[in-house]
Structure 1
C-alpha cells in the first residue's frame, strides 16, 4: 500500500489515545485527580534545586533545523495510525503542568523535535520525531547510509521520502544497526530493498551476534515482557498531562509493521574500520552495555562520534521494568570511557535518540557525566551491599553525587536510579535480602487476607489510606491498600483510593518508566485494562530469523505441564532445506529438544522444509494444510503430535497485575496451535 501522509484521518482510524481535553489540561479519566498539595510542594522544591537556567539543551535541540514535514500523522499499511505527533501538541502551549514532574516536562518538550535536521553540513542529517528512534542519514559519494532505521516500516519509509523531497533524491547505499533492539532495525524495509542487499549492492552492518540477540532476549518470556512493556511504556494510555507525555528517549513507539533483513557485515573486532560509499567509519564494539551486542561509530575525517544508544540525553535502564537480563553498569561506564580516550578530539556527538552536542568541551562534559554515574551506581550499590544493605533497602539509601544531580545529561528519565541500584544488587547477589522470612514468601493474594484481618478489616484500612493520601504519604498508602485490593478484589473504594495514591506517585516521578507504570496501573484499577492498538513485532521477518531451536524451546514453555502427566513419546523433526534435525522428547511432563540427532525408534517423524515451517510459525498455515499440499510428511503414530497440540497455551499480553482488572473485551487472538504467538515489542528498550 502506498504511504498515506497528511490525509484526513478516517473515523475508523481515529486515534483513541488522543484526548480532546489534553490541551485544556483536563484529566482524561472521570475519576482522575489533579496534583495534590504534597505533589505541588515536591514539584516546587525540585524546580528550586535543578539548574533550569542551563538552556544549552534547547539551543542544541534547535540547532541545524531545516524543515518540518507537512503532516503530523503517518498511517500504517494496515490502515490504523502508526505515528501521531499531533497527540502531544499540548506540551507546546507554554503551560506549566502540575501533573508532570518539572524536569520530565522539560525533557518532554525537548523530545518534540519534529522534522529534518542538519548535524554536520552536507554530511550528517537526522529525521527526528517520526518514531522513538532518530533516523540518521550519512551522505556518501552517491547515496545515503542509514543508521538505525526506526521501529517500523512506515515511519522509516516516510523519513526517506521526506529527506529526498527536501535535499534531492539519493539512493540508500548502506544500512547500520547499532544494536539488537527492534527500534533500531525494525523499519529497514522502509529504507532498502532486500534484493539490493542480497545482490551485495547495499551492505547492512551490525555488531557480531546481532541476529541471535535481536530475537533471543524476548522469545522465552516474550508475552510477559509485552504486557510489562505496555505498562512501562504506557502505549495504550491517553496522551494527556495526566497520562502519557513522553518516553524519555523519544515520544513513543510507532505502531506500524516491523521487519528485519539480516546483516551482511559483522563487526567482530573491538575497533574495526570500514568504508561505505566513500565514508570512512571506525566501529567500536560495545557488548554488554545497553544491549547484549551493540556498537558506536567514529567518523575520523569529520571528528564526529555516533553513540548509538550508549549515550543519549538520559541515564538508561540497568534493570528495565519490561524485564530483561540486568545490564552491566560498570562495563557500560568503561565503554564510554574507551570512546572518550580513543576518539578524544571529537567535535560532534550524536546518537539514535535525543539531540546532538557540538564542541569538544561540551561533548566531554556529557560523556563524563554518564560514564561517572553508571560507574557510581555500580560501585556504590556494591559498597552499600558489602556493608549489609539489601536489595529492599538500597534504593532508599543510595544518592547520586550532588555534582551529577545538577547535570541534565545525568538525570534518569528513561531508567530510574532507584530501580537501577536494585538491579545492580540483583545482578551480583540475587533477589533474596537475607531474611529467612522472605525465602519462601506467600503469594500476595494468599497473605493479603491476614494483613487485612490484623488491620481490623476494610473500614480502618480505607480510613488510614485516606489519611495517608491526605498527608502525601502515598508509598505507605500503596502498601496497605494493595493488601486490601488483593484480599477484596471487588472493593472498588479500595481500588479507587489505591489508584489515587499511584496517580500522585506518577505525577511526582521524573522517570517515565515509573510515571507510566503508576499511571497505567491507576487507570486499570479504576476501569480495567483498556483496549488499544499497540506496536507488535511478531512479524514474518522476525519469526523467520528465529532459530528452530528457539521455536522448540518456546513450545516447551507454551505447553501446560499440568496437562502432560502420563505422556511419554519422542518426535523427530527434520528440515531438509537447511540440513537441521531435532529430537523432541516428552518425559516427566517436560518437553525437551536436542539439535543434530534423530532417534530411530521415535514414535513420529515430521519432515518439512524450514521455509515451510516459517509459514506455520507465523500462523499462515497449519500442519494439516502443509501436509495436504505435500510440504509436510508425517511418518509413524500421530498421537504425540495430537497430544502436544492439545496442551499448548495461547498467550495474550492482557493478563492482570491486580485482580479483577481484566477487560470484558480481552486482546483478540487468532493464534493457531504451534504458531509463535508472543508479542516481541518488548524488545524495544
Structure 2
C-alpha cells in the first residue's frame, strides 16, 4: 500500500525550528554517556523467530544518522531518537555489562564468581538470546546462575527463556528473584483489560507505523518493542523486606523495595562492591508516565517521589555509577545525586502542583493548560523532558487519581455519547460541509488542536465522510510532527494512518506462559468480565468447579447478570458440578480448545444439568483485537 503521509506544513516547520532555541542542544554529555563503555554491536541485521518472522531489525533506524532533524520530527525528539540508537554490548563498570538497543528495555549482565546474573531479560526470548550470545562473543562463556526481575512489566521478564530454561530452575541450578507481588501484578495487568491495552499500545508505541521521518522514530524508553516469543518463569525467591541483602554467586546485592512507584511491584538494587546503583525503571533519562496512554492503573507520584528521595539518601553518597532498565548510565557521584534529586522533584511537582490547582477549582484540562512545563531549571534538564510521559497528561492523571473522571460541572454528569453528541453538534453548526470549510481555513492558519477537536465531531457524526477523514488525518499528522513526546507522536500518526487506510486487523492472543501463570481464580475473574450481562440476567445458575490436579474447589454463582465465585467452597445444591484439569484449562485460555470441545471429548466432566454449563459458555463475549479508535467503536 502506497505511503499517504504528507510533508510538514509551514506552521509545523516554524514550530519545530523554534525548539532549537528553547533547550540546551549544545550539552553533549548524554551522547558521551551513551557511547561510554561500548564493546561491540550485533553481528547481523536482524533477529528472527524459528518460523522466520523478523523479531528485531537493527537497520530500521538507519535514517537517523544525520544530526539535523527533518521538518517532520521535533528536534528534541530527534535528539533522543539518535541517543536511543546506540546499540550493542556496553560495560557499565567492573563486572557489570549492559545490552542496549535490542528491545525497548536493557538487559543487564552481572558477572558472579562462577556464573552470570541476568537482570531483566527484555520482552522476548529471541532478542534476549541474541543479547547473551553477543556478550559471550566478548566475555568468558559461563553459565547463568540467577535471573532478577526488577518489576512486573513484560519488557523486564518476557525474554527469560532466551537465557535460562524451566528445567534449570526446577533443578535448582538457577534462582529467579523478584519483588513481592510480582506474579499477581504480572498476570493481572495482562488479563483483565488485556485486549484493550494491547490495541491501545499499537497507538502508543507506533508498532503499525512505517519507520521513517514521517512515521515511527522512537518509543521514548527505547526504539520499540520486539515481536518475538514472550515467556515467563515464576520466581523462586521473593524480596519482601524494605531492605534485604543477598549474596548471589559471590555478589552482594542490597534490594530496596519500591512498591507502587513505576510498577506496583518494583525494586532497586545496590552493588556495594562496585559502588553501583540500579534504579530499575524508577528513574529514566526522561519523564515517565503517571498514567500510560495505553491504559493502566494510575500511579502514585507522591510515593514515587518519596522512594526516589529514599534512594538518594541511602545510596547517593555511596554510588559512582547509576544504571537502569532503559537508556544509558550516569557516572559520577555529583551527577548521580543531581539526577536522583531532579527525578524526585519532578514527580513531587506533578503531584503537588496539580493538587494545589485542583483545590482552586481548576479542571483537568485547565490544569494541563496552566502547567505548561516543569519549573526552571528542571525544565532544562534533558532527563526531565516529556519524551515518554508528559506534563500535560501526567497532571490529568494526578487529577484522576484523587478526584476521578468527573470535574464537578453538572453539565458533564450525563453528557450524550460521542456519536449522538457529534451528530447534533454538526447539525447545529450548519452541517458537515460548512464545518469543514471553516476547519480548512483554521488548518491553513496552523490551529491544529482546534481542527482536530471539531473535525473529530464530523468524523463521528459521519464516519464515511471522506473529506472529513482526510482533513482529520492531515491534522493529526501535523500534530504528530510537532510532538516532543514519542507516545503522542505515535498516537497521532497511527490515528492519521487508520483514517486514511482503515484499521489493520492484527491477530490477538496471549503469551502461553502468561496463560499458564493464570490461577483458576484469575480465570473465573476473566469469565466474569466476558459474561454478557443482558443474556445472563434471565439465566441464574449455581455451579461447583473442581480441579483435581490442584485439589481446589470453586463455587460459581450467576445471578442478576453477574458471575461471582468463592474459592474453597461448594454449593450444597448446585445446578451442576464441573471437573477439569488445570492443564486443559490452559489450553482453553490459549485458544487451542474451547470449553464445549472439552465437554465433548471428556476433558471437562459435568454432573448434573449440562444445559446450565452449556448456557454459561454461550453467554461469554468475544473481544475484538483491533477495535476502532479514531472512528466510532461498535459492539460485535
TM-score, structure 2 normalization: 0.97
Within 5 Å, which residues of 2 pair with 1:141-290?
141-290=113-262
How much does 1:36 deviate?
1.4
- Matched with 2:64 is 91
CA contact (8 A) 2:553 2:570 kept: yes
Q: Does 1:601 align with 2:573?
A: yes
Secondary structure, aligned partner of 2:365: coil
The answer on 1:428 being equivalent to 2:428 is no
* Correspondence for 1:357: 330
Query: Structure 2 regions of 5+ residues with no counterpart?
Result: none
Other-structure match for 1:118: 91
Contact kept, 8 Å, 2:92 with 2:329, in 1: the verdict is yes
1:567-611 CA distances to partner (integer Å, 9 max, x unpaired)?
111111111222211111111222222211111211111112223
Asked if the contact 1:66–1:116 (Cα under 8 Å) also holds between the matched residues in 2, the reply is: yes
2:589 counterpart of 1:617: yes
CA distance in 2, matches of 1:658, 1:281: 48
5 Å matches for 1:237-636?
Answer: 237-344=209-316, 345-398=318-371, 399-531=373-505, 538-623=510-595, 626=598, 631-636=603-608
The whole-number CA distance in structure 2 between the counterparts of 1:659 and 1:517 is 14
Cα deviations across residues 491-531 of structure 1 (Å, max 9, x unaligned)?
11011111111111111111111111111101111111124
Corresponding residue SS for 2:97: strand
Cα distance, 1:628 vs. partner?
6.3
User: What is the Cα deviation at residue 627 of structure 1?
Assistant: 5.2
SS in 1 for 2:364: coil
Deviation at 1:200, TM superposition (A): 1.9
Count residues with an aligned counterpart: 633
Q: 1:135 and 2:107 equivalent?
A: yes
Distance (Å, rounded) in 2 between the aligned partners of 1:258 and 1:77: 14
Cα distance in structure 2, aligned partners of 1:294 and 1:659 = 37
Identify which range, 260-269 or 536-545, moves more after superposition. 536-545
**Post-superposition offset of 1:614:** 1.8
Q: Secondary structure at the match of 1:260?
A: coil
1:68 aligns with 2:41: yes
Return the offset for 1:37. 1.4
Q: Distance in 1 between matches of 2:631 and 2:304?
A: 39
SS at match of 1:87: coil
Deviations 1:312-357 (A, max 9, x none): 1111000111111100011111111111111122100101110011
CA apart distance, 1:238: 0.9
1:658 Cα deviation after fit: 3.0
Which 5+ residue runs of structure 1 have no aligned equivalent?
Answer: 1-15, 17-27, 667-685
Q: Which residue is equivalent to 1:9? A: none
Distance across 2 between alignment mates of 1:341 and 1:397: 32
Q: Does 1:659 align with 2:631?
A: yes
Deviation string for 1:178-204 (max 9, x for gaps)? Answer: 000011001001111211211222111
CA distance in structure 1 between the partners assigned to 2:347 and 2:632 by the alignment:
40
Q: Does the CA-based 8 Å contact 2:120-2:147 persist in structure 1?
A: yes
Distance (whole Å) between structure 1 residues aligned to residue 184 and residue 79 of structure 2: 37
RMSD (Å), alpha carbons: 1.7
Contact persistence 1:236–1:531 (CA under 8 A): no
Q: Render the CA deviation track for 1:456-515: whole Å, top value 9, x for unaligned.
A: 111221111111111111111111111111111111101111111111111111111111
Q: Do 1:392 and 1:433's aligned partners in 2 also have CA atoms closer than 8 Å? A: no
Given that 1:258 and 1:537 are in contact with CA atoms closer than 8 Å, whether structure 2 keeps it comes out as no
C-alpha displacement at 1:626, in angstroms?
A: 4.5
Indicate if the aligned counterparts of 2:509 and 2:590 stay in contact, CA closer than 8 A.
no
TM-score (structure 1 length as normaliser) = 0.90
Residue 28 of structure 2 corresponds to residue 39 of structure 1: no
Residue 392 of structure 1 and its aligned partner are, at CA, apart by 2.4
Q: Give yes or no for contact 2:245–2:253 (8 Å, CA) kept in 1.
A: yes
